[in-house]
């Protein structure tokens, strides 16, 4: 049976089906609405004190960030719009408090559920939690006590509210499976923080599985095995052991250098979209930011961000990394990333169209504002500038000339910046990879953007599901372009990084190391695993296999070769 894997890890154990007591609310007409209002006020007070207690428990057992959810609950239970709405209904319709709570909360829950944003939509779960609390208090209903579990178990529930998870005795809970909730629901977030395997979106779980059943859950794959065979139990016990050993090894990677078995040091950096992503970079011990996708600062708003707004964002990131490198990529819009307020023309081939550096060299007003912000921030850390979608040398020269103009302006205004700031380009168009010996003479570094390089070299739209089987990072032609770019960069004495998804691909990392890649930039959550792979690979050993690998006929052959000869 399959659900959504929301917290990785494997658990084997007996089931406890957690059913919330049914809350039945009937509509009653009341004569004295003041009495009902009094009831609701008392229930809110009691609810607040329960929530405050849960805040303290979570703060102690889990952490400040996770406890924050109860601050949100407190705000909701006191919210004048919500409670005001309840009271108004009691008064105007002369109904009982319970009915008014049910009705008003349903109205707000529906409102949340209709919001597009997944995060906001899941706030409906918080309001459900709060309104159930109020109803239980009003109706004097006892709940199942998850705090005093005596036996180890895997909890199966229709849904688990943050209040449920906060109270449960963590030592006894091996995992959970819920019918609803997604990757960003609080239960999933808590499960990941507590490192408890969890699966959600498993329809009818509470009907399919009974108390006392034995199950296995795989929180990475989203799998649930009900009453498994001896063979499966053995297999998953082995998987669990391996996973736990691996987790320990990954944790040991924190604070270590990224250095191969034969002593070659590389840099493992992070890809970010906004300064908010910095928490994860630091938590996962990123050695820098290899790609700051600045277009996110321009999205979800109705006008261009100001120089000052951008400056603050770049400065925050640069300072947060305390001197470690931060590669800021200039605006890369167009293609699949639209900015409605720019009224960009509709194009037949947006990925080949008016985008990224092409747009910036045309709209120099937008480009200059961004460059001013980046240069100003360069006084506060180790910032480098990178241009996206470069396809010819003139673009580099023109962009550099604009940087010089902006520097001159700043000098005249006596604003400080890093004069010798490094300037590099994304190598994501095959023409640049092929001609990289010449391009390397114009810049301080290359960062290979495999997401686009694969799409352009294989002529496969990176977002089209129907042809996704053709999009393959192991394609020998793609690997040849990568190797050529790294070698040509090195011949000219510049460093070469990679910030496309391939840099974090566990099978490609050894190959890239063998090719001599200097910097690997990836999503923060992949950093420690990548470091572990680097630390367990010998560069020279892989290098000696490259000729064989690059002469294999297909991507499938390459993958098989890596599986059999490198990963092992
Ligand atoms: C790339 O193309 O590999 C890349 C990193 O850029 P983006 O995914 O933002 O296009
Ligand atoms: Mg790209």
Region 34-40: mean pLDDT is 93
Spatial separation of the C-alpha atoms in residues 188 and 206, rounded to whole Å: 18
Q: What pLDDT is attached to residue 186?
A: 67
| Distance in Å, CA 462 to ligand 2 centroid | 10
Single out the residue of 402, 298, 372 nearest to residue 340, CA to CA.
Answer: 298
Considering only CA atoms, which residue is closest to atom 1 of ligand 1?
449
| Distance in Å, CA 13 to ligand 1 centroid | 43
Single out the residue of 416, 398, 411, 309 nearest to residue 361, CA to CA.
Answer: 398
Q: From 389, 428, 429, 526, give the residue whose CB has the most ligand 1 atoms within 8 Å, as the site to mutate.
A: 428
Indicate whether 458 pLDDT > 90: yes
Percent of the chain predicted with pLDDT > 70: 98
SS3 289: strand
CB-ligand 1 contact for 452 (6 Å cutoff) = yes
Q: How many CB atoms lie within 10 A of CB 147?
A: 11
Q: What pLDDT is attached to residue 191?
A: 81
In the structure, what pLDDT confidence band is assigned to residue 165 with cuts at 50, 70 and 90? confident
pLDDT 10s digits, 8-18: 899 999 999 99
Asked if 12 contacts 174 with a C-beta cutoff of 8 angstroms, the reply is yes
Position in ligand 1 atom list of the atom nearest CA 295? 9
Considering only CA atoms, which residue is closest to atom 3 of ligand 1?
449
Asked if 158 contacts 136 with a C-beta cutoff of 8 angstroms, the reply is no
Percent of the chain predicted with pLDDT > 90: 69
Q: From 449, 462, 520, give the residue whose CB has the most ligand 1 atoms within 8 Å, as the site to mutate.
A: 449
- State the average pLDDT for the chain: 92
Catalytic residue among 73, 186, 360, 475: 186
Region 372-391: mean pLDDT is 98
Q: Give every CB contact of residue 498 below 8 A, 6+ residues apart in sequence.
A: 447, 448, 449, 450, 482, 512, 517, 519, 520, 521
| CA 308 vs CA 314, 375, 413, 495: distances in Å | 10, 12, 15, 31
DSSP per residue over 453-490, as a string?
A: HHHHHHT--TT-GGGGGG--TT-HHHHHHHHHHHHHHH
Position in ligand 1 atom list of the atom nearest CA 502? 3
Indicate whether 166 pLDDT > 80: no
CB-ligand 1 contact for 451 (6 Å cutoff) = yes
The helix-helix angle for 307-320 and 364-377 (nearest 10°) equals 40
Region 428-449: mean pLDDT is 98
Q: Give every CB contact of residue 322 below 8 A, 6+ residues apart in sequence.
A: 381
Return the higher-pLDDT residue of 540 and 149.
Answer: 540
Q: Which residue has the tokens 């294999």?
A: 552
Asked if 263 contacts 522 with a C-beta cutoff of 8 angstroms, the reply is no
Position in ligand 1 atom list of the atom nearest CA 455? 2
Spatial separation of the C-alpha atoms in residues 416 and 265, rounded to whole Å: 33
| Distance in Å, CA 428 to ligand 2 centroid | 6
Position in ligand 1 atom list of the atom nearest CA 388? 6
Report the Cα 135 to chain-centroid distance in Å.
Answer: 36
Interior/surface letters 468-505, b for 16+ CB within 10 angstroms, e for the rest: eeebbbbbbebbebbbbbbebbbeeebbbbbbbbbbbb
Considering only CA atoms, which residue is closest to atom 8 of ligand 1?
451
The helix-helix angle for 33-61 and 64-78 (nearest 10°) equals 170
Report the Cα 360 to chain-centroid distance in Å.
Answer: 28
- Token pair of 146, please? 């998850």
Indicate whether 88 pLDDT > 70: yes
Question: Strand 214-218 and strand 223-226: pairing?
Answer: antiparallel
Looking at the CA of 327, name the nearest ligand. 1
Region 162-174: mean pLDDT is 80
Q: From 499, 512, 522, 523, give the residue whose CB has the most ligand 1 atoms within 8 Å, as the site to mutate.
A: 499
Spatial separation of the C-alpha atoms in residues 26 and 99, rounded to whole Å: 7
Q: What pLDDT is attached to residue 184?
A: 64
Indicate whether 455 pLDDT > 90: yes
CB-ligand 1 contact for 499 (6 Å cutoff) = yes
Position in ligand 1 atom list of the atom nearest CA 332? 9
Position in ligand 1 atom list of the atom nearest CA 451? 3
Indicate whether 126 pLDDT > 90: no
Looking at the CA of 451, name the nearest ligand. 1
Q: What pLDDT is attached to residue 187?
A: 75
Spatial separation of the C-alpha atoms in residues 332 and 356, rounded to whole Å: 4
Region 477-503: mean pLDDT is 97
Looking at the CA of 295, name the nearest ligand. 1
Q: What pLDDT is attached to residue 163?
A: 72
Q: How many CB atoms lie within 10 A of CB 135?
A: 19
Determine whether 390 is exposed, middle or buried from the number of CB atoms within 10 Å of its CB (0-12, 13-18, 19+): buried
Q: Which residue has the tokens 């036996």?
A: 151
Spatial separation of the C-alpha atoms in residues 4 and 139, rounded to whole Å: 35
Spatial separation of the C-alpha atoms in residues 274 and 291, rounded to whole Å: 11
Q: In what order do the strands lie in the sheet with 4-7?
A: 4-7, 198-200, 173-178, 153-157, 10-18, 214-218, 223-226
Q: What pLDDT is attached to residue 42?
A: 94
Catalytic residue among 73, 153, 360, 499: 499
| Distance in Å, CA 431 to ligand 1 centroid | 16
In the structure, what pLDDT confidence band is assigned to residue 425 with cuts at 50, 70 and 90? very high
Does 186 participate in catalysis according to the annotation?
yes
Spatial separation of the C-alpha atoms in residues 522 and 508, rounded to whole Å: 13
- Token pair of 212, please? 């006392």
Q: What pLDDT is attached to residue 40?
A: 94
CB-ligand 1 contact for 500 (6 Å cutoff) = yes
Asked if 156 contacts 47 with a C-beta cutoff of 8 angstroms, the reply is no
| Distance in Å, CA 337 to ligand 2 centroid | 11
Region 170-178: mean pLDDT is 90
Helices (H), 184-341: 186-194, 205-208, 230-252, 278-283, 295-298, 307-320
Report the Cα 79 to chain-centroid distance in Å.
Answer: 31
C-alpha atoms less than 13 angstroms from C-alpha of 304 in its C-beta half-sphere: 14
| Distance in Å, CA 554 to ligand 1 centroid | 24
- Token pair of 394, please? 């003139």
Spatial separation of the C-alpha atoms in residues 292 and 314, rounded to whole Å: 9
| Distance in Å, CA 560 to ligand 2 centroid | 27
Q: From 353, 425, 426, 481, give the residue whose CB has the most ligand 1 atoms within 8 Å, as the site to mutate.
A: 426
Does 490 participate in catalysis according to the annotation?
no
CB-ligand 1 contact for 449 (6 Å cutoff) = yes
Q: What pLDDT is attached to residue 299?
A: 86
Single out the residue of 42, 66, 39, 40 nearest to residue 54, CA to CA.
Answer: 66
CB-ligand 1 contact for 450 (6 Å cutoff) = yes
pLDDT 10s digits, 245-283: 988 888 899 999 999 999 999 999 999 998 988 988 998
| Distance in Å, CA 295 to ligand 2 centroid | 12
Q: What pLDDT is attached to residue 568?
A: 62
Region 461-472: mean pLDDT is 86
Asked if 346 contacts 282 with a C-beta cutoff of 8 angstroms, the reply is no
SS3 380: helix
Looking at the CA of 293, name the nearest ligand. 1
Indicate whether 183 pLDDT > 80: no
Region 444-472: mean pLDDT is 92
Q: Which residue has the tokens 């499966």?
A: 232
| Distance in Å, CA 459 to ligand 2 centroid | 14
- Token pair of 290, please? 């290899």
């Amino acid at each position: 049976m399959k659900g959504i894997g929301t917290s990785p890890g494997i658990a084997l154990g007996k089931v406890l089906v957690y059913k919330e007591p049914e809350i039945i609310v009937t509509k009653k007409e009341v004569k004295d609405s003041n009495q009902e209002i009094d009831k609701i006020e008392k229930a809110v007070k009691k609810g607040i004190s329960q929530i405050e207690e849960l805040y303290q428990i979570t703060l102690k057992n889990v952490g400040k960030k996770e406890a924050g959810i109860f601050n949100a609950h407190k705000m909701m239970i006191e919210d004048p719009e919500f409670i005001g709405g309840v009271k108004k209904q009691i008064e105007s319709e002369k109904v009982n408090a319970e009915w008014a709570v049910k009705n008003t909360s349903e109205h707000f829950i529906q409102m949340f559920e209709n919001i597009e944003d997944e995060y906001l939509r899941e706030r409906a779960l918080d309001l459900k939690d709060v309104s159930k609390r109020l109803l239980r208090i009003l109706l004097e209903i006892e709940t199942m006590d998850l705090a005093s579990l005596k036996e180890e178990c895997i909890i199966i529930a229709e849904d688990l509210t943050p209040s449920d998870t906060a109270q449960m005795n963590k030592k006894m809970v091996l995992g959970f499976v819920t019918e609803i909730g997604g990757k960003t629901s609080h239960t999933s977030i808590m499960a990941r923080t507590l490192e408890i395997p969890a699966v959600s979106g498993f329809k009818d779980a509470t009907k399919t599985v009974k108390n006392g059943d034995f199950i296995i859950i795989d929180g990475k794959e989203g799998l649930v095995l009900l009453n498994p065979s001896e063979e499966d139990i053995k297999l998953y016990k082995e998987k669990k052991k391996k996973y736990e050993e691996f987790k320990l090894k990954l944790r040991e990677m924190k604070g270590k250098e990224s250095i191969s078995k034969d002593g070659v040091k590389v840099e493992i950096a992070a890809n970010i979209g906004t300064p908010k992503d910095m928490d994860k970079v630091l938590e996962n011990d990123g050695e820098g930011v290899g790609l700051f996708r600045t277009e996110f600062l321009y999205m979800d708003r109705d006008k261009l961000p100001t120089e000052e707004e951008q400056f603050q964002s770049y400065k925050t990131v640069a300072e947060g990394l305390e001197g470690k490198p931060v590669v800021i990529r200039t605006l890369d819009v167009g293609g699949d990333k639209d900015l409605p307020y720019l009224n960009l023309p509709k194009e037949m081939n947006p990925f080949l169209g008016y985008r990224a550096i092409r747009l910036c060299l045309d709209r120099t007003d937008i480009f200059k504002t961004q460059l001013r912000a980046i240069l100003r921030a360069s006084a506060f850390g180790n910032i480098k500038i990178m241009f996206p979608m470069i396809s010819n040398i003139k673009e580099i020269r023109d962009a550099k000339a604009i940087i010089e103009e902006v520097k001159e302006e700043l000098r005249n205004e006596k604003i400080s910046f890093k004069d010798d700031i490094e300037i590099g380009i994304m190598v994501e168009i095959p023409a640049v990879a092929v001609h990289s010996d010449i391009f390397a003479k114009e810049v301080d570094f290359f960062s290979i953007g495999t997401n686009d390089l694969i799409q352009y070299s294989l002529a496969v739209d990176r977002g089209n599901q129907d042809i996704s089987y053709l999009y393959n990072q192991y394609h020998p032609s793609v690997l040849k372009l990568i190797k050529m770019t790294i070698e040509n960069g090195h011949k000219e004495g510049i460093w070469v990084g990679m910030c496309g998804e391939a840099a974090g691909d566990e099978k490609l990392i050894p190959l890239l190391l063998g090719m001599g890649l200097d910097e690997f930039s990836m999503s923060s959550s992949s950093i420690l695993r990548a470091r572990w792979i680097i630390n367990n690979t010998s560069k020279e050993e892989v290098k000696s296999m490259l000729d064989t690998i690059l002469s294999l006929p297909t991507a499938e052959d390459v993958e098989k070769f890596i599986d059999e000869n490198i990963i092992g």
